[in-house]
């Protein structure tokens, strides 16, 4: 099947599970060559995905992985900055170590990957970067002070990168999901005293009455990464089940 992604090289960080894996598979379905950068790429089971060990918190690791992608595929056309972590707590409850770790991975990690990939993206006629943001960037979520702060920084980073690189032919956009049903969220919920109750609350928070699926987020990523979206840059696309803008009565 002919697709605008045929032959393009897409890099997806944190692509071995959850949103990243759904996105990597969606690119593969469209005919792209897909490079997955992950701490544990050996868990990949689909032979259309090529795994590379990468720790976004380490610049040397990122540079080595990006160089290996280029050596394998000959270039890079698309980067999806998906790797990230979360944290529970108010500003009183979070340590300096918590702040340093989350901001290093969620924000500086995106900058590291993008910086390593930009020389190769400039050589592409279809260059695009998509950053995974969150509705937490613009909505106050309880006990997510650090996570929200990191995603607010991601949103600002997206706008700044889009401005810096638009004249170089590199588009930069973001996707802001609501709460997504992934193994990451399942493990995150284990930190609560009543994970079942907390999951029900997360479902109810979406106006649709359920959490967002990884495939729905992947669809938004592919839209923004597509060469057919050539005039879309500096945009944040919300995939949040109506959390941000809808106010519906509870059933």
**Alpha helices, H only, the chain:** 18-29, 59-73, 96-103, 109-121, 145-165, 183-189, 195-205, 214-225
Residue 40: pLDDT over 80: yes
The answer to whether 159 is a known catalytic residue is no
Q: How confident is the model at residue 1 (pLDDT cuts 50, 70, 90)?
A: low
Mean pLDDT over the full length of the chain: 94
**Alpha helices, H only, 83-240:** 96-103, 109-121, 145-165, 183-189, 195-205, 214-225
Q: Which of 5, 27, 73, 147 is catalytic?
A: 147
Residue 137: pLDDT over 70: yes
Report how far residue 90's alpha carbon sits from residue 56's, in angstroms, rounded to the nearest whole number. Answer: 25
pTM: 0.93
Q: Given CA atoms 108, 110, 116, 122 in this order, what sign does their dihedral have?
A: negative
Report how far residue 180's alpha carbon sits from residue 107's, in angstroms, rounded to the nearest whole number. Answer: 20
Separation of CA 98 from chain center: 20
Q: How confident is the model at residue 188 (pLDDT cuts 50, 70, 90)?
A: confident
The predicted-structure confidence for 150-179, as pLDDT tens digits, reads as follows 999 999 999 999 999 999 999 999 999 988
Which residues have a Cβ under 8 Å from the Cβ of 114 and sit 6 or more positions away? 79, 81, 129, 161
Once rounded to an integer, what is the mean pLDDT over residues 14-18? 96
Report how far residue 137's alpha carbon sits from residue 160's, in angstroms, rounded to the nearest whole number. Answer: 15
Residue 81's nearest CA partner among 60, 59, 106, 101 is 106
């Amino acid at each position: 099947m002919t697709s605008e992604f045929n032959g393009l090289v897409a890099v997806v960080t944190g692509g071995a599970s959850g949103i990243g894996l759904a996105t990597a598979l969606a690119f593969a379905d469209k005919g792209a060559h897909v490079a997955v950068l992950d701490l544990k790429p050996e868990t990949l089971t689909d032979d259309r995905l090529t795994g590379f060990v990468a720790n976004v918190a380490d610049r040397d690791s990122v540079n080595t992985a990006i160089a290996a992608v280029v050596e394998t595929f000959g270039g890079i056309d698309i980067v999806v900055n998906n790797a990230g972590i979360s944290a529970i707590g108010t500003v009183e409850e979070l340590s300096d170590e918590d702040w340093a770790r989350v901001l290093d991975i969620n924000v500086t990690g995106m900058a590291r990957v993008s910086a390593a990939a930009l020389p190769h993206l400039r050589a592409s006629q279809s260059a695009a970067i998509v950053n995974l943001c969150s509705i937490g960037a613009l909505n106050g979520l309880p006990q997510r002070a650090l996570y929200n702060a990191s995603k607010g920084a991601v949103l600002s980073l997206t706008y700044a990168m889009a401005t810096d690189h638009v004249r170089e032919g590199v588009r930069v956009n973001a996707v802001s999901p609501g709460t997504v049903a992934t193994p990451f969220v399942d493990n995150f919920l284990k930190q609560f005293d009543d994970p079942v109750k907390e999951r029900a609350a997360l479902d109810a928070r979406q106006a649709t009455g359920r959490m967002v699926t990884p495939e729905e987020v992947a669809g938004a990523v592919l839209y923004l990464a597509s060469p057919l979206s050539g005039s879309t840059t500096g945009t944040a696309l919300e995939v949040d089940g109506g959390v941000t803008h809808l106010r519906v009565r509870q059933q």
